Amino acid sequence: GQNIDQPTEMTATEGAIVQINCTYQTSGFNGLFWYQQHAGEAPTFLSYNVLDGLEEKGRFSSFLSRSKGYSYLLLKELQMKDSASYLCAVNNGGFKTIFGAGTRLFVKA
């Protein structure tokens, strides 16, 4: 089967760092994506990893280990506006990208 697991909810403090983990089991692999989705809005693209290692983009970084079927999204200097759901998604080499259920992040003052 194909499966993507990520925590349901996380809470962190403004200004802190938070790491959202994602593990996956898919029939193939052609890239892992992270999306941000605010309540009532559509997802927006954050990052893409296809090779092992860390990709950094401003306050957000994403890491991939293909051998472990593992990724994380790292958010630094958290802001209140970062409160959202974060979706981990994997392209299995075909037409489909499989989405995880999302991690709801609550940032508190």
Partner 1 sequence: GAVVSQHPSWVICKSGTSVKIECRSLDFQATTMFWYRQFPKQSLMLMATSNEGSKATYEQGVEKDKFLINHASLTLSTLTVTSAHPEDSSFYICSARDGGGRGKNIQYFGAGTRLSVL
Q: Does 70 bind partner 1 (CB under 8 A)?
A: no
Q: Does 40 bind partner 1 (CB under 8 A)?
A: yes
Instruction: For the CB of residue 85, give the shortest distance to partner 1 in the complex, in Å.
Output: 9
| C-alpha dihedral, 93 to 25 to 23 to 95, nearest 10° | 20
Q: How far is CA 108 from CA 10, 77, 83, 85, in A?
A: 11, 12, 9, 15
The token pair at 79 is: 């802001």
Instruction: For the CB of residue 97, give the shortest distance to partner 1 in the complex, in Å.
Output: 6
Instruction: For the CB of residue 31, give the shortest distance to partner 1 in the complex, in Å.
Output: 6
Which residue's CB is nearer to partner 1, number 58 or number 95? 95
Helix (H) or strand (E) holding 11: strand 9-13
Q: Does 1 bind partner 1 (CB under 8 A)?
A: no
The CA distance from 91 to 33, in Å, is 8
Q: How far is CA 47 from CA 31, 64, 93, in A?
A: 10, 11, 18
Q: Does 41 bind partner 1 (CB under 8 A)?
A: yes
Select the residue interacting with partner 1 from 1, 51, 53, 95 (CB under 8 A). Answer: 95
- Interacting residue ranges for partner 1, rule: CB under 8 A: 30-31, 33, 35, 40-45, 48, 50, 87, 89, 91, 95-97, 99-102
